[in-house]
A and B are shown apart, each in its own frame.
Chain A
Amino acid sequence: MSVRMPEADGAVLARRAAIVKALRTIVPGEGVIATEREMRPFESDGLTAYRQLPLVVVLPETTKQVSEVLAYCHAEGVKVVPRGAGTSLSGGALPLEDGVLLGMAKFNRIKDIDFANRVAVVEPGVTNLAVSNAVAHAGFYYAPDPSSQIACTIGGNVAENSGGVHCLKYGMTTNNVLGCELVLMNGDVVRLGGKHLDAEGYDLLGLINGSEGLLGVVTEVTVRILQKAETQRAVLIGFPSSEDGGECVSAIIAAGIIPAGMEMMDRPAIHAVEEFVHAGYPLDVEALLIVELDGPQAEVDHLIERVVDIAKQCKSMTCRVSASEQERLLFWAGRKAAFPAVGRISPDYFCMDGTIPRSQLPKVLAAMKDMSAKYGLRCANVFHAGDGNLHPLILYDSNKEGEVERAEEFGAEILKLCVAVGGVLTGEHGVGVEKRDLMPVMFSEIDLNAQQRVKCAFDDKGLLNPGKVFPVLHRCAELGRMHISGGKLPFPDIPRF
């Protein structure tokens, strides 16, 4: 692994026994795990190239316990890493040798389902899919649908501001969360938002979404739930080139249509998937687009017709409209199995997550082909085409000398290109450890320091999930200092009245 974590604090390691003992007085019984064998399952998250056993694992069950654990660690100068289900693909939940791993899995209750206000109040360890399941009997669902939704938790979703194939129309996590309860590193408990729609002061809830567990531990979340659309239908369109596919995506949006989902796959991905799930995907195309429309039957029928027309004008080679719910699900089965399908044809893979302005798609895809040759590694592409969020899957074998490093370099080059063409390093998986050292590609030191000052407002000692997101850690006192330069008004001719 090439990203270095902060130096472990020897004094904390030396006090381990005392720390474990103190934590047991806060969280009784099996809630504190200190043996190596039992801590092993927590040593990594979805970014399996990085592993580290924590100092100790704590599994609290109440907000009070979380608050006491954090207050204790704050007083003692012990680091804390929050964890949901551990499916993060960027190493956000990677433990620290000298840090408490705070597992939130026992916060698994759905506290309130309020159909009249169209919200559910849940604990952060509840899985994404469990929220939808809990409200399904009344025809409702929770819109953000990451592919990991069976496993990943709402707390993790909030921390990563996760998206899914339907966020083109329904938004990311941040657009679907109305409130949360948050415990700060000093033990303070604050409530942000609620069942109402907007913040009363600074929009701190907006900051918490996507904060990667660095600002506070989320202990309760209020999410918006929606009534399911009357019908959903999908169109499967094949193209002779990714460029043609990309143009079709633009043409659909330019026609004023925002589909519920719009997903694209390139040739290597199509082949890997078809072999795995037999979704009936055409194998002679270079790019495959799934466009899903939802709404009342009359609307879906009307728009499907327009999408098919547009596809015809965009050099499509094949175009199939789902004739049944079963067929629609089959179209999706392939896309949804893309990661495991690639997992079958390669011992290991990295999943990249850059976002680009959609018009840059042909350029970026062509460059990735060249990079694939240069690094001697295969690359399959699936992407959320509607919003330009790419998921290049870089295939490698960690048992082969030097391949991990090459794969990491390949990934970094892709992400740098994403930024160079006007995009960003990560669209939905987070910076974590994986992209931490690339942050300066996108942000100046001033930008990064401004973000770290926000962190200081929440966590003055920098104890919550350090080593993630920021490449260089500064002390808050140092960041707080001000050097004012430029005391003169250098534009004397400004109009003054």
Chain B
Amino acid sequence: MTDILKPRDAKEVEDAVRWALSHDKALEVAGQGSKRAIGRPSQTDITLDLSGLTGVTLYEPAELVLSARAGTPLSEIEALLEKNHQELAFEPMDYGPVLGLKAGQNYTSGTIGGAIAANLSGPRRIKAGAARDHFLGLSAVTGRGETIKSGGRVVKNVTGYDMCKVLAGSWGTLAAMTDVTVKVLPRAETQATVVVEGLDDASACAAMAAAMGSSCDVSAAAHLPDHVASYFDGLPNAEAATALRLEGVAPSVRHRKDALAALLKPFGPVLLLDETESRALWRSVRQVKPFATESARVRPLWRISTAPARGHAVAAAITPAAQMFYDWGGGLIWVAMPFGDEPDAASIRAAVASVGGHATLIRAEAAVRASADVFEPQEPALAALSKRVKDAFDPKGVLNPGRMVAGV
């Protein structure tokens, strides 16, 4: 088992990275390790455990801003916001269940730093964006052992390059974040979901496009085909369900619910979920519930990001033995492959290439992740540019080397 370094403050993070640099050691950068199983297995000597950097350092609800040490548990931040009728509008999804973390044992939804490093988002991605869109400022220790800051605590800021964006989604390969500032937003007063039943994937994508192209201000759109529908909460029937969420003040939700139901009627039978059912449904979407069961967990899981209206075309090119469902109006497809040790990367990547977008192998045996490309391979010029960006932050490869791309 690897050693663990657990710094107590930002200065100690810098010390740890400098130590690693001068001793030619590679560090695994981790918060609570909830997403450790995502990415290529990194060849590291020591874990840099940032979960000791905790605490909300600034929270001003009327200014819509919150700063915290990067290791602060996401659950703590979400609870604090909820008390003030606010939330992280990017609705971070919860990887715990699909990765097999168990309540009461090793379950955690991770840290705020981890949520940002993985650029988490949820069903509301289509309307509110991902972690990147809410990430305002940071302090971080680069792979050069230098502490940098970027951004600030205000939403509008174009002073210097937007380093927050490039660190969001960099999976700890560029710098170890020590302090982060995020934009927070009011929680919607209420919500409801309009469901069309019985659609095939192509009609579902068309229905979702119609809904999202209307002025109904849809805040989530998912299609749950019949072979997986029964795994989701809040749905009355085990039928294929195309679900559209509406959030806002009560009079508005009421009005839009009727407008949307009328708009969708030509596609198929429409039913309505009340606030409780709606919350339950979207929680299970956020947890990718069908693929979190004991039996599903042994199978490789892909996450495909593509042009939403063409999601069904990507899916059609994938083996019918796979199970799948769509979020983001068809733009995010979760695909569970039929056989444990066979991610079938070539066929998945060919399917995605036919439309455009990319695929990430979110879950597979470590040996499989070590030999397959977990993230989408890039064209040579772009791959070379990404490598140069890695070198700009971490020239010696001390931070999570190889986690995203072999040898980088």
The residues of A with any CB-CB pair to B shorter than 8 Å are 114-118, 139-140, 160-161, 163, 167, 171-172, 174-175, 184, 188-192, 194-207, 209-211, 215, 227-230, 250-251, 253-254, 256-258, 295-299, 301-303, 355-359, 384, 387-389, 422-431, 435, 439, 442-444, 446-448, 450-451, 453-458, 469, 480, 482, 484-491, 494-497
Contact = CB atoms under 8 A, between A and B. Distances in A.
A204 B161 contact: no
A482 B150 contact: no
Given A167-B156, A389-B156, 15 more contacts: A174-B133, A196-B331, A201-B375, A206-B165, A210-B162, A215-B161, A228-B215, A229-B215, A256-B189, A296-B215, A296-B255, A450-B146, A454-B163, A457-B391, A489-B19
A495 B6 contact: yes
Contacts of A431: 158-160
Nearest to B126: A197
Nearest to B383: A201
Contacts of A204: 166, 385-386, 389
B144 A355 contact: no
Contact of B166 (A206, A301, A356, A423): A206
Given A195-B307, A298-B254, A424 B154 contact: yes
Contacts of A303: 249
B119 interface: yes
B286 to A, nearest CB: 16
10 contacts: A195-B306, A200-B305, A207-B161, A229-B215, A355-B152, A358-B62, A423-B154, A439-B159, A450-B146, A487-B19
Query: What 8 pairs between A and B have smallest CB-CB spacing?
Result: A206-B165, A299-B252, A200-B358, A487-B22, A427-B156, A256-B186, A116-B309, A195-B307
Interface in B28-45: none
A286 to B, nearest CB: 22
A451 B175 CA distance: 13
A295 B218 CA distance: 12
A171 B90 CA distance: 13
Given A117-B309, A174-B162, A491 B251 contact: no
B332 interface: yes
Contacts of B55: none
Could you say which of A198, A387, A451 has the most chain B C-beta atoms within 10 Å of its C-beta? A198
B385 A458 contact: yes
Chain A interface, DSSP helix/strand/loop, else mixed: loop
B227 interface: no
Nearest to B152: A424
A388 to B, nearest CB: 6
Nearest to A190: B382
A450 B378 contact: no
Nearest to A253: B62
Contacts of B390: 202
B331 to A, nearest CB: 6
B217 A484 contact: no
A140 to B, nearest CB: 8
Contacts of A299: 248-249, 251-252, 255
Interface string B63-87: 1110000000000000000000100
Contacts of A174: 133, 162, 165
B214 A227 contact: yes
B248 A295 contact: yes
A482 B154 contact: no
A453 B215 contact: no
A180 to B, nearest CB: 12
B148 A447 contact: yes
Nearest to B186: A256
Interface in B227-264: 248-249, 251-252, 254-256, 259
Contacts of A163: 156
Given A424-B154, A484-B22, A203 B132 contact: yes
B372 interface: no
B152 A387 contact: no
Interface in B116-174: 119, 121, 125-126, 129-130, 132-133, 142, 144-150, 152-166, 168-170, 174
A82 B195 CA distance: 49
Could you say which of B142, B146, B385 has the most chain A C-beta atoms within 10 Å of its C-beta? B385
A454 B251 CA distance: 48
A58 B81 CA distance: 53
Interface stretch (B7-15, B104-112, B269-277, B340-348): B7-15
Contacts of B126: 197
Contacts of A116: 206, 209, 213, 308-309
Contacts of B404: 201
Interface string B306-336: 1111100000000000000000100110000
Contacts of A199: 119, 169
Contact residues on B (Cβ < 8 Å of other chain), bracket: 35 or more
A143 B338 CA distance: 43
B392 interface: yes
B297 to A, nearest CB: 24
B223 to A, nearest CB: 15
B213 A118 contact: yes
Contacts of B6: 494-495
A199 B375 CA distance: 10
Contacts of B386: 201-202, 204
B402 interface: no
Contacts of B165: 174, 203, 205-207, 209
B189 A496 contact: no
B307 A196 contact: yes
Interface in B368-391: 375-376, 378-379, 381-382, 384-386, 388-391
A295 B162 CA distance: 31
Contacts of A490: 12, 15
A387 B125 CA distance: 22
B60 interface: yes
Given A299-B248, A299-B251, A359-B60, A426 B159 contact: yes
A425 B151 CA distance: 11
Contact of B186 (A117, A258, A480, A485): A258
A200 B304 CA distance: 10
B268 interface: no
B8 to A, nearest CB: 7
Contacts of B162: 161, 174, 206-207, 209-210
Contacts of A210: 158, 161-162
Given A202-B389, A384-B156, A497 B215 contact: no
Given A174-B162, A486-B19, A298 B215 contact: no
A469 to B, nearest CB: 7
A322 B148 CA distance: 48
Contact of A488 (B19, B215, B254, B309): B19
A295 B252 CA distance: 8
A457 B389 contact: yes
Could you say which of A258, A426, A453 has the most chain B C-beta atoms within 10 Å of its C-beta? A453
A202 B169 contact: yes
B147 A203 contact: no
B392 A454 contact: yes
A450 B213 contact: no
A130 B22 CA distance: 55
B393 interface: yes
A171 B133 CA distance: 9
A387 to B, nearest CB: 5
Contacts of B1: 497
A215 B160 CA distance: 12
Contacts of B332: 197
A352 B34 CA distance: 45
A496 B121 CA distance: 33
A203 B22 contact: no
B23 interface: yes
A206 B169 CA distance: 11
